[in-house]
Structure 1
Amino acid sequence: MKKVIREAWSWISSFAVALALAIVVSVFVVQPYKVEGHSMDPTLADQERIIVSKLPHTFSREPDYGDIVIIDSRVDRERTVKDDFLENPLLQFLASEDEGHALYVKRVIGKPGDELEIRQNKLYRNGQELHESYIKEAMYVGVNEKWVVPKDSVFVMGDNRNNSRDSRQIGYVPLDHVLGKKVFEISWTK
């Protein structure tokens, strides 16, 4: 009987260690993510799966221009490590429903201190027009707008500019709300 108990304990403890390691890796190092919606068309399609590096978030690194990032859209509240754990796919059963919360996939357009402007449906950063080969189609916004990105924040937009909820609506994204950077896409045929 003792041998059976030792064997069972060995299996249970091995499983517990493996689960703990998987959680730590997916919270702080790398995590799969499923794109929901069409705001990143044509770069990323609805339901496409991507692998996200969490290291920039873990080590508080500022993303580069053009990086495709996962953001927490609740820009009006502070984030905690608890949020990182509760958003983890392995632990989502612990999270309560949080209305209005969504993780978005967007592209970094502006960094702290940048002046961004939409003029005649064209995007300018610090007075220079951006030539973005990755956008779906020309923007049609109807009005000219201007933003100056504050310290410790970024400005993000979807590649499908005419169908994207991004910094133009939610505001500047605090750096601690940038949860990770896309490393690569996972493609497979059905």
Structure 2
Amino acid sequence: MGFDFELILAMAFLVTGAFWVYDRIVYLPKRKVVLASMAAEARSALDKDAQQRLAQTPKLVVEVKSYFIIIAVIFGLRSFVVEPFQIPSGSMLPTLKIGDFILVNKFEYGLRLPVLNTTIIPTTQPEVGDVVVFKYPRDPSLNYIKRLIGLPGDRISYRDKVLTVNGEVVPKAFLARLPVSLNPNKEPVELYRETLGGLAYETYNSYRFTPNENDWVVPEGHYFVMGDNRDNSADSRSWGFVPEGNLKGRAFYVWLHWDEFLSIPSFKNNGLIE
């Protein structure tokens, strides 16, 4: 089971919100009465913290409710506008590198209820070529990122490192052979420029066998996704389709790269995600 930060943030929002409402109903009116009975000089001598403690307001209530506004802002932004993620693996190389910090558009595929991920206001539909973040179907506490290859009803084939969608080969142009030193998977790879849905992006293929060769038909309400590091990615070829309800948003920007804790963060790779 992964660390479900979204669920923890939602619980913090509910708890601090409950304390905030409780204070507004029970203690705020009492504080107003006390303040109104005080002389103007005495009121001005009280700082904000002292005012909060008037009328025997419990310290626990004062402390917990003080976090509500900031948690509410963070919760709202992450749930409905934009959410940050860090890339933990090389499955999306060369598009996204290990240690990249990315931003995900949370309203691209509709406004969704936090945690439940149920769409409440539809917006646009996912398109092939999008880099999408979604809840891993086998463990929804984990977030995965892959490229969307197939829409509902599409026929997908991947054999001998050739990707076919609805009977048409997805074109790719050879760019270079890269040495082991440039690949975290510790094997030489070939770099290609692939074009799908009018979008061009780079992919890797290894020299070894092609894993998970097969043909698939994407069921209704589901999507087929693959990593750009084609022979080093656990994706729909191995664990199946992504339900529409698992989509969280479209990754659109790299804003920081940080290899490891003791390294120096870098902004040289900043830019839009193809």
Is 1:71 the equivalent of 2:134?
Answer: yes
Structure 2, unmatched stretches of 5+, are 1-33, 36-42, 53-61, 112-120, 172-193, 195-200, 257-264, 268-274
Q: How far apart, CA to CA, are the structure 1 residues paired with 2:202 and 2:136?
A: 23
Residue in structure 2 matched with residue 7 of structure 1 by the alignment: 48
8 Å Cα contact 1:41/1:159 also seen in 2: yes
Q: TM-score by structure 2 length?
A: 0.54
Q: How far apart, CA to CA, are the structure 2 residues paired with 1:34 and 1:18?
A: 22
What code does the residue aligned with 1:176 have?
G
Q: Percent identity?
A: 31
Pair 74,5 (structure 1): closer, same or farther in 2 beyond 3 Å: farther
Is 1:167 the equivalent of 2:167?
Answer: no
Is 1:137 the equivalent of 2:214?
Answer: no
Residue in structure 1 matched with residue 146 of structure 2 by the alignment: 106
Structure 1, unmatched stretches of 5+, are 80-100
Is 1:124 the equivalent of 2:187?
Answer: no
What code does the residue aligned with 2:147 have?
R
**1:110-146 superposed Cα distances (whole Å, 9 cap, x missing partner):** 0001000123320100011112241112684267410
Aligned residues: 167
Residue in structure 1 matched with residue 187 of structure 2 by the alignment: none
Residue in structure 2 matched with residue 95 of structure 1 by the alignment: none
Q: Secondary structure at the match of 2:231?
A: helix
Q: How far apart, CA to CA, are the structure 1 residues paired with 2:237 and 2:212?
A: 12
Q: How far apart, CA to CA, are the structure 1 residues paired with 2:163 and 2:92?
A: 17
Aligned-pair distance for 1:105?
A: 1.0
Q: Secondary structure at the match of 2:79?
A: helix
Residue in structure 2 matched with residue 186 of structure 1 by the alignment: 255
Q: Secondary structure at the match of 1:69?
A: strand
The within-5 A match list for 1:8-27 is 8=49, 9=52, 15-27=67-79
Aligned-pair distance for 1:6?
A: 7.0
Pair 22,128 (structure 1): closer, same or farther in 2 beyond 3 Å: same
What code does the residue aligned with 2:158 have?
I
Higher RCO structure, 1 or 2 (CA under 8 Å, sep 6+): 1
RMSD (CA atoms): 2.9
What code does the residue aligned with 2:162 have?
K
Deviation larger for 127-136 or 108-117: 127-136
Q: Secondary structure at the match of 2:69?
A: helix
Aligned-pair distance for 1:16?
A: 2.1
What code does the residue aligned with 1:136 have?
Y
